[in-house]
Structure 1
Amino acid sequence: MRIVFITQDDPFYLAKNLDYLLKKMPPYAKVVGTVVADVSPFGKKETMTEKAKKTYDIFGLPFFIRYGLKFVTSKMSKQNSVKYVLEQHQIPLIHLESNINKPDSLDKIRAYKPDLLISIAGNQIFKRPLLDLAPLGCLNLHTALLPKYRGLMPSFWVMRYNEKYTGVSVFFVDEGIDSGPILVQKKVEIGNRSQAELIEYTKQLGMDCIIECIEKIHAGNYELIENDASQMTYFSFPTREDVKAFLAAGKRFY
């Protein structure tokens, strides 16, 4: 099984989780290439200055300082680099010069002859020609119990609304947003975790779920879970008022 990853250069959580995932890959699954987009924490392309200002305005000074320092130190350490982890596992980067859905980008991905695409923190909407490129489809990891909490930053929103449980869903991508049929889903009790602790836990659980998906697809005898659109909720990035409500409810970022 030839696999192409689609991800982004996240300096906080992704490198160590990709390393964990790659070390657990079954012998019949080979990651033959990876598309690595620039990091986009708010779901769209912005300059570094715009990202920094938005982080400060929404989350406040303590959050801004903590994650600003973490961003700088992560960038200074090879171990926190997605590209470094891929290099250590001898996985080539697929360099795209335009949007992933453009014909020239599709041609570059197609050249790696993938059987399966896997999006992990992918930050572009995938259109049908890309989804049809690999015969086994395209999987995506979402750290919430779909169909609830589609969209951005589910770890924030489940805590903002005092959910007792969240989870991880790995689903087949369609042309909607987090709307495809679910292959593997795991439920997680939030408890007294901070948002950072919840992200850490669900990201690694997500890697285990991806492995389980690969095993199910390889075996060919899986059942899909409906991602019921009538039950869906969708969230974008929070406002300053949402952050105030999060903190007023006694929730912690870290």
Structure 2
Amino acid sequence: VFQSYALYPQMTVAQNMGFSLSLERRSKDEIAQKVKEAADALKLGPFLDRKPGQLSGGQRQRVAIGRAIVRNPQVFLLDEPLSNLDAALRSETRVEISELHQRMNTTMVYVTHDQVEAMTMADRIAVLNDGNVEQVGSPMDLYNHPETEFVAGFIGSPKMNFIKGRYAEAVGAKTLGVRPEHFAIGQGDDAWEGRVTLVERLGHDTILHVNVPDAGALTVSLDGQQAHQVGDIVHLRPQLEFIHRFDEVGRPIAA
């Protein structure tokens, strides 16, 4: 399944989905049956007589997936299939692909630069960096136990804070990694004082951007609706059981 859909504009949805079967000289009845089954699974039944130009981006992507389904493959390869969709359609189509995967019980190799897609859809993730496999594991393995600084920064949203200097040196590291959700707000000997520079209110949580001397610009994710304002002085307390320590080459330091 290609990023650009790769549908034939002069063909209908049904013709696009059944094209590979016609090349194999399957009977018209067999092609029609397989196209109908795929269309029903993808909720494309009402659109079979339309041309790709008459469809939304999400519908075109479903047609591209349906074209693969009709061949009953043992493995699907999906190359950035949601990258051309807007945020709302991307979320909707992500759920549809996950449900399809469960129904078909077929292996899917899914290429994406979007870590949210990787975390929510995958059973196992392989993180590539400059052509090298950095780590392979379940989504939560990569989140909780990143084997490189690159993986730690890729997995998680908002991304992990990386801190050098005295705060890292205090825990015996070249770089200290703290996820935004692993800060608490409160006074204490271990608290870091900083000034709020931006507040993002998402309803279900609040994202603070905080400038901390000797640590730089940090992102903090707090549950629920918070009253913090730009300019406020806050005290951040990293939850020590969740911090990550990295050496000079970006490898984790054992506790």
Bigger Rg, which one: 2
Which structure is higher in RCO with an 8 Å CA cutoff and minimum separation 6? 1
Fold match by TM threshold 0.5: no
**Per the shorter chain, which TM-score range?**
under 0.3
User: Which structure shows the higher strand fraction?
Assistant: 2
User: Which structure shows the higher helix fraction?
Assistant: 1
- The TM-score normalised by the length of structure 1 is 0.23
- The TM-score normalised by the length of structure 2 is 0.22
